[in-house]
Structure 1
């Protein structure tokens, strides 16, 4: 065999796989085949193989998965048929054909290699186990398995299968043991860490879901109650505003124009009392409904240290859109900070309600006593005037 034959093999296999291989072969495809050929060359060089041995290994590597164009299980035998058919047409020696045949069969997952070349090809076929792209390559195999078996293996199940495979897998060639084993061990550790994180996250998610529903219901109910109470307070303040506005309008249009008549002088003081209490009620009603906006500039540091609540528009109104988006993303990623913000929102709504209802109580008291005192003043003035 020579380099020219190897080039013909590469062209033939590449064309064969591109035209006849199933589109569901996300892993066992031309990319995998080229990767195995590359790994074969790497191990052969490290194990000081002869030029002829390297050529033989590369030819076997090119053909080792061609059987996938016909079937998956037992594809090694189909790969052998395809390889021998090609090699016979190109008058390759029987001895080389038999060697390539045995090398292809050695890639069977249950086969234990018995010589150096078989060890090299079998290790090259699993060379991705020591690759920095191991997880990404492994995901393509998962995609292929799920597509062909119409199954849905979860990420956690797949990682556990990978961990089991890595622990049980053995490199056979001296070069792979020396140069690839340490990298494989690192991938094993990475998979174990990913499994631990995944399990921990799922447990935390389950606990968070159980706890979170109750917490979210509490916040939802309480915030709704606070908003409804705030709406009630505003309605009460509006009623007082309307009533006192009517009183002031009536007094200005009907009572005050008549005060210049000497016969109506007894109405001056009662009218002033009525106007005074009505104006006071209006002012207090306005104060109870007047909104208050924060003038504090919110910073990212304040959000991180849970010193503010950007869920309320009065707080974030001075933030830039970019900072506000960052803040919302930060809340979504940090559950503690999110609940802290909701707690602050509930607390400050309570403070606003407390102020509103205090002012409303004072307003209704002023209005009530104003009406009583005004009525008494009118009766008293009327009595004094007509008794004189």
Structure 2
């Protein structure tokens, strides 16, 4: 009796028809997000299944069943992702029944497809060959490229997002844990699997170095960020000290000149004082006394203007709720945000807290306007002190001239 010849999948009519059906099915119904579980993957698995079947010296019937199972094993992805294997069994059964395929062989093909589910048993040789063909990508040279396709697919369909280092570590663990089940699978893929593990280790080390570099850069930025915040704190503190100094100097000038004015007016207006009649007898004394009064009055007015509270704000903000994004405006300053409704202010603050650049911009704007206020204070203080100094000199000179004139 002659041995049964090995069946080549490309020659079997039912396999040709199955390939054409799956190709059309994937083209019409397979979700486009499935960039890994595409027709290309199924085609590769079918070829690998055929090669493994030949290496295992399967008879023609089992070879045909294995390849047909390979063609249908991912068909269920058209309807569901998790548990697609069971839907693949239903699609295969429906199509093969329509082709009048023997019922017992349909049952065998379904069992082979079932074995590709991670929780199912792989006891038979056909089941082991099918699983090895399905996982053949781990033992091929294009393993890392295919893994990136799977990563993209998971992100799009499952919401699983990995960093490069996380994905490299996940892939390395998966490669290390995987074991091919059939002897044909071990012989065909074991060598390349070891090479892929080595390459994946190199990739993981490379990604870890990149992540470490990013962490160092982030740490450097964090240190720089602390420096920026220290600068803001010291600048605010310096502005506060300068403002207090200006107010103290203004208060001193206000107190001195108001006392001086009070004394002069009191004595000049008092009928019982000796100064009042002196002016009547010597009206020329009105000149130095007038200079002193004018000096004290001008000096106290400029000092009061310097100490007067100044709120920097913009009239056009009254009807504009978008002040948080305006680079000229500091939403943290009460002179600005009190013109807004509570809702608009809350929206602006939330926007500010979300955007670091916007936050820093508000602080810079605040420092700028604080500087403008300080500049005005010290300019008026300088005028006040200058008036007081020049006025005293002129008053003294006037009194000297009056005394010389009287003599």
State TM-score, norm by structure 2: 0.51
Show CA shifts across 1:320-355 (max 9, x none): xxxxxxxxxxxxxxxxxxxxxxxxxxxxxxxxxxxx
Q: Give the structure 2 partner of residue 147 of structure 1.
A: 156
Q: Give the structure 2 partner of residue 16 of structure 1.
A: 25
- For the aligned residue pairs, the C-alpha RMSD in angstroms reads 2.4
- The verdict on how the C-alpha distance between 1:151 and 1:119 changes in structure 2, with shifts beyond 3 A counting, is closer
Contact 2:139 2:189 in 1 (8 A): yes
Q: Give the structure 2 partner of residue 103 of structure 1.
A: 112
Q: Answer yes or no: is 1:201 the counterpart of 2:229.
A: no
Larger Rg: 2
Matches of 2:219 and 2:77 in 1, distance apart?
Answer: 48
Matches of 1:164 and 1:94 in 2, distance apart?
Answer: 41
Matches of 1:104 and 1:212 in 2, distance apart?
Answer: 53
Matches of 1:68 and 1:12 in 2, distance apart?
Answer: 15
Q: What secondary structure, in the 3-state scheme, does the structure 1 residue paired with 2:101 have?
A: coil
Q: Answer yes or no: is 1:63 the counterpart of 2:81.
A: no
Residue number among 114, 117, 121 corresponding to 2:123 in the alignment: 114
Matches of 1:150 and 1:79 in 2, distance apart?
Answer: 23
Q: Answer yes or no: is 1:54 the counterpart of 2:63.
A: yes
Matches of 1:101 and 1:206 in 2, distance apart?
Answer: 50
- The verdict on how the C-alpha distance between 1:200 and 1:4 changes in structure 2, with shifts beyond 3 A counting, is same
Aligned residues: 218
Contact 2:45 2:133 in 1 (8 A): yes
Shift of 1:153: 1.7
Shift of 1:174: 0.1
Shift of 1:210: 4.5
Question: Structure 2 matches for 1:148-163, cutoff 5 A?
Answer: 148-163=157-172
Show CA shifts across 1:259-295 (max 9, x none): xxxxxxxxxxxxxxxxxxxxxxxxxxxxxxxxxxxxx
Shift of 1:16: 0.6
Shift of 1:51: 2.0
Q: Give the structure 2 partner of residue 191 of structure 1.
A: 200
Residue number among 153, 164, 175 corresponding to 2:173 in the alignment: 164
Matches of 1:131 and 1:76 in 2, distance apart?
Answer: 23
Q: What secondary structure, in the 3-state scheme, does the structure 2 residue paired with 1:180 have?
A: helix
Matches of 2:20 and 2:46 in 1, distance apart?
Answer: 14
Contact 2:165 2:211 in 1 (8 A): no
- The verdict on how the C-alpha distance between 1:196 and 1:34 changes in structure 2, with shifts beyond 3 A counting, is same
Q: Give the structure 2 partner of residue 124 of structure 1.
A: 133
- The verdict on how the C-alpha distance between 1:112 and 1:185 changes in structure 2, with shifts beyond 3 A counting, is farther
Matches of 2:61 and 2:119 in 1, distance apart?
Answer: 27
Question: Structure 2 matches for 1:1-388, cutoff 5 A?
Answer: 3-208=12-217, 210=219
* Structure 1: gaps spanning 5 or more residues: 216-388
Matches of 2:90 and 2:110 in 1, distance apart?
Answer: 9
Matches of 1:74 and 1:208 in 2, distance apart?
Answer: 44
* Structure 2: gaps spanning 5 or more residues: 1-6, 225-407
- The verdict on how the C-alpha distance between 1:14 and 1:36 changes in structure 2, with shifts beyond 3 A counting, is same
Q: What secondary structure, in the 3-state scheme, does the structure 1 residue paired with 2:215 have?
A: helix
- The verdict on how the C-alpha distance between 1:81 and 1:212 changes in structure 2, with shifts beyond 3 A counting, is closer
Contact 2:93 2:110 in 1 (8 A): yes
Show CA shifts across 1:107-127 (max 9, x none): 112223111111111000000
Q: What secondary structure, in the 3-state scheme, does the structure 2 residue paired with 1:178 have?
A: helix
Show CA shifts across 1:12-31 (max 9, x none): 11101110110111111111
Matches of 2:66 and 2:144 in 1, distance apart?
Answer: 26
